[in-house]
Copies of this chain bind each other. A is one copy, B any other.
Amino acid sequence: MKQYDIASIGGDGIGPEVTAQAMRILDAAAEQFGFSLKIQDYPLGTDYYLANNEIFPSSIFEECKQQHAIFLGAIGDPRVPVGMIEFGIIAKLRFELDLYINLRPVKLYDARLCPLKDKTPEDIDMLIVRENTEGAYSGMHGFAHKGQPLEVATQTMVYTREGVERAVRYAFELTKTRAERKVTLVDKANAIRAQDIWTRTFAEVAAEYPDVATDHAYVDAACMWMIKNPEWFDVIVTPNLFGDIITDLGASLQGGMGIAASGNIHPGQVSLFEPIHGSAPKHAGKNVASPVAAIMAASMLLDYVGEKEAGAAIETAIVDLVRDGSIRGVSTAMHRTDEVGDMVLERMRSTAG
C-alpha cells in the first residue's frame, strides 16, 4: 500500500477548523482508494509565534521538507503586524522550497455561483499558472531619505531566463493535457520592458509545442476579457504579481474565496496546497466557516501526489453538492463547518457504493 507523508498546518483563525474537515476527507479518500496517509500536524501560526517568539523553527521546517506534500489552512491575525506570519510561513515555504509554480484552477461548477450574467460552467474553465518565486516578489527594495521630503523608495522586479522558462514550460506541458490546448501569456511588456524576457522565452518554448495554440494579452486587457469573455481562456501563464491579481479575479468568477484552492508546486518535490481565503478571525472557532475551499485544496494535493482518482472523487462530490443545491453557495454560515464535511463524506461514499 502506498503511503504519503503529509504536513498539516492549520494556522490562524478559521484555518484549523477548515483544515480539520479537509483532513477528514483525506482520511476517507485514503480508505476508499486504498492508500495510506501519515498526517503530521504542526500547530504553527500566530498563537505559536506569540508563545514561542519564533514563527517557523528550523527543526519543523526540516521535517516539512521530508513530506510528500504540505497542507496549509489559513494565516493572518490582527495581533501581529500585517504580513508578518504570512511571510514567515507562506513566503518562506515558497522561496525556500523553491515552489516555482502557483497553480490556480478557475472552474465554475454552477452558474448560480457566478457573479456574471449569462456565463455558464462551459465558459469558465481555466488554469492559471503563476510564476511563484521571482518578479516583484524578489524582495529587492530600499528607501533613500526615508521619512523625509526627498524620500525615494524602489523595488526591483527580477526575472531570470531559467525562472521564466520553467514556468512557461510547465504551462505548455499542462496545456498539452487539456481539450482546448491553448495557452495565453499575460504580461505588461509594453510598459514593463524587462518582461521582454517573458515575450522571448514564451515564443521560444512555443516553437517546441506546435500542437499548442498560443495567445497574448496585456494584463489590463486580460482583466477585461476575464469578465467579458472568460471562455477565451484555457491555460494562462503570467509573472508572479499579475498572477496574484488575476487569480483573485478568477476566484470571483468561480464563486469567490469560499471555493478557490491553489497549489504551490515544485514538480517532483514536496509542494504546498492551500485554500486561497484568509483566516477570517471574526468567524474563528464558531464552526461556521465553509471548508469547501480547503477540501478542494485537499483534492489538488491528492492529484499532485499521484492519487488522481481520489482527488477527482473529492472534486466530484463537491460539484454534485453544489449543483444539486445541497451546498447552497460557498460562503460562511450557510451550513456548519463540520456539517459540510459530513455531506462531502456522505456523497463520496454513496458515489463509490
Residues of chain A having any CB pair with chain B under 8 Å: 82-83, 86-87, 114-117, 136-137, 139, 141-143, 145, 147-162, 188, 190-197, 200, 219-221, 223-224, 227-228, 241, 244-249, 251-253, 256-257
Contacts and interface: CB of A to CB of B under 8 A. Distances in A.
Copies, count = 2
B152 A86 contact: no
7 contacts: A114-B117, A115-B116, A150-B161, A152-B159, A155-B193, A220-B247, A223-B223
Contact of A191 (B137, B158, B161, B190): B137
Contact of A117 (B117, B139, B191, B196): B117
Contacts of A244: 188, 191, 219-220
Contacts of A136: 157, 188, 191-192
Contacts of A151: 160-161, 197
Contacts of A115: 116-117, 227-228
A328 to B, nearest CB: 16
Contact of A194 (B141, B147, B162): B141
Contact of A83 (B190, B197, B249): B190
A172 to B, nearest CB: 18
Contacts of A194: 141-143, 153-155
B197 A143 contact: yes
> Taking each of A87, A149, A154, A196, which has the highest tally of chain B beta carbons within 10 Å of its own beta carbon?
A154
Contacts of A228: 115, 252, 256
A253 to B, nearest CB: 8
Contacts of A153: 158-160, 194-197
A176 to B, nearest CB: 24
Contacts of A117: 114-117
Contact of A224 (B86, B116, B162, B251): B251
A158 B162 contact: no
Nearest to A161: B151
A115 B253 CA distance: 11
Contact of A223 (B83, B87, B152, B249): B249
Contacts of A227: 115, 227, 249, 252-253
Contact of A245 (B86, B141, B147, B223): B223
A223 B248 contact: yes
A187 to B, nearest CB: 12
A253 B191 CA distance: 24
A191 B162 CA distance: 22
Contacts of A137: 191
Contacts of A253: 227
